[in-house]
Structure 1
Amino acid sequence: MNAPLVDSHCHLDFPELAENLHDLLAAMAQADVGWALCAGVTLERFPAMLALVRSASNLFAAVGVHPDTEYSERDPDAKTLLELANDPRVVAIGETGLDYYRLEGDLEWQRERFRTHIRAARLCSKPLIIHTRSAAADTLAILKEEGAEAVGGVFHCFTESAQIARTALDLGFYISFSGIVTFKNAIELKEVAKMVPLERMLVETDAPYLAPVPYRGKVNQPAYVRHVAEEIARLRGLTLDAVAEQTTENFFRLFSHAKR
């Protein structure tokens, strides 16, 4: 393969990966994975993540607070997000969005957190990295209400229906597929991967989670994004090079602050 891939979403600062950065970068090079984007999940751990990103020229960062309270100790405000997003290695706002999977009761705080991220993204003209789980309708509604199409972004680790994908695409967003698309039982998702225009698609690992086949159940890493791209190529009857070339072009078009 000649065209390098991009892992458009991972968490290299998580304990499972951070101590092995040298080996992970070597594995990326061997697998023709040229770059990786580390998504933010809390404000508390962002400085350490940014330091890790700065240690390698082919890593980028996004700043954000995950919608799930499991990750976050403090809510962001737009001013703080803007200050952190001013760093040249920060190319996006996120991950952000809505996650109703494990939460009950009044979740207005989560929707307000999401709105704060969208407003910050619009102010700094950097795209959004969207996390949505059991909350697609509200996610799309808030993106529309807040004018998020002005900056665009990506629905990361996409697991929703074809209709949700079409609505996200109509808003100007990209769709990113993770190792889940390689799972045998992900039948509907495989159909979505055939439907999404290749020029609006990204690939990712979400490492250390969701390792693709043949590593399912093990700790994931950016090098394994190659297996995601291989499955996309198989589903669409394309070469791996074609998928790599287009998804990498898509990445640098969307994340225009990222330098090759």
Structure 2
Amino acid sequence: MIVDSHCHLDFPDFAGETNALIARAAAADVGLMVTIGTRVRDFAKVLAIAEAHPEVYCTVGTHPHEAEKEAHVGVDELVTLASHPKVIGIGEAGLDYYYDSSPRDVQSAVFRRHIDAARRTGLPLCIHSRDADDDMASILEEETAKGAFPILLHCFSSGRELMERAVALGAFVSFSGILTFKRSDDLRDIAKDVPADRLLVETDAPYLAPLPWRGKRNEPAYVAHTAKVLAEVKGVTPAEMAETTTANFARLFAKVPREVFAS
């Protein structure tokens, strides 16, 4: 079984297609997926999808693009929402200096609030980081010094230094379809050096479809192709990579019932 550790099934791109998406994923041996929260105000929609489908779990959080609009969301609210059995992570949250949709100081404050929620719940923090490597690494180091929390760098496309500093803190690193792009040689070099026990794969669907679907709508079934490319990078078989990334997912997202992985 392969796990799509990060997708957005609540987005309008997938309206009315959830059952078909899950069926196509199952045909590609993708047996589990996590639909990710990006706005706490829309959390009910995310949770409803997870509740309706045994193959789907979810997270709760505020994307950095939405940080200014959700600066009022407190740690207690995140912790309370995360108590639902289907909520297995916090986020996605983090820093995005490429678009700067929210002021950077607000992004930082909201991100640290999510870190606190991850620390209090013990749930992994799904981190969005774009063009913010230095600040991201510094915040993670500062906050880890206050108390450990599970870390997942989602859709990794940053530099080697952030990977190394985060992995030193115990972070997991997830790769998306970007890994398959022709000009992603540097990213593949970084992926080669990520410890095998810290690797995950994802789609970030509906975005970032891997080759040969680049430019088209992405969906959970396509994570199998990213896992295949990651296997090539690491010099293992696709079956071995599927086993490795699923085992890593099970360790990181420990709230998912163990019997899910035994079936």
Following superposition, the deviation at residue 112 of structure 1 comes to 0.3
TM-score, scaled relative to structure 2: 0.94
Q: 1:32 to 1:106 in 2, by over 3 A?
A: closer
| 1:258 equivalent among 248, 251, 256 | 256
Following superposition, the deviation at residue 184 of structure 1 comes to 0.3
The correspondence of residues 24-103 of structure 1 with structure 2, limited to 5 A, is: 24-69=21-66, 73-75=69-71, 76-103=73-100
SS of the residue corresponding to residue 65 of structure 2 reads coil
Following superposition, the deviation at residue 256 of structure 1 comes to 0.2
Following superposition, the deviation at residue 156 of structure 1 comes to 0.3
Tell me what 1:179 maps to. 177
Distance in 1 of aligned mates of 2:142 and 2:160: 22
The answer for unaligned runs of 5 or more in structure 2 is none
Pair 1:222 & 2:198 matched: no
Q: Which amino acid aligns with 2:210?
A: P
Pair 1:19 & 2:24 matched: no
Q: 1:48 to 1:106 in 2, by over 3 A?
A: closer
SS of the residue corresponding to residue 28 of structure 1 reads helix
| 2:123 equivalent among 104, 123, 126 | 126
Distance in 2 of aligned mates of 1:53 and 1:156: 20
Is the Cα contact below 8 Å between 1:66 and 1:72 reproduced in 2? no
Tell me what 2:237 maps to. 239
Q: 1:105 to 1:182 in 2, by over 3 A?
A: closer
Matched-pair identity in %? 45
Distance in 2 of aligned mates of 1:162 and 1:142: 17
Following superposition, the deviation at residue 147 of structure 1 comes to 2.2
Distance in 1 of aligned mates of 2:64 and 2:85: 25
The answer for unaligned runs of 5 or more in structure 1 is none
Following superposition, the deviation at residue 163 of structure 1 comes to 2.1
Is the Cα contact below 8 Å between 2:7 and 2:220 reproduced in 1? yes
CA deviation vs aligned residue, 1:168-193 (integer Å, no higher than 9, x gap): 10010001000000000011001011
Cα root mean square deviation, aligned? 1.5
Q: 1:152 to 1:28 in 2, by over 3 A?
A: same
SS of the residue corresponding to residue 83 of structure 1 reads helix
Distance in 2 of aligned mates of 1:93 and 1:105: 19
Q: Which amino acid aligns with 2:223?
A: V
Distance in 1 of aligned mates of 2:90 and 2:221: 24
CA deviation vs aligned residue, 1:91-129 (integer Å, no higher than 9, x gap): 110101111112289521110000100011111111110
Distance in 1 of aligned mates of 2:250 and 2:93: 20
Is the Cα contact below 8 Å between 1:41 and 1:66 reproduced in 2? yes
Q: Which amino acid aligns with 1:20?
A: E
Is the Cα contact below 8 Å between 1:126 and 1:255 reproduced in 2? yes
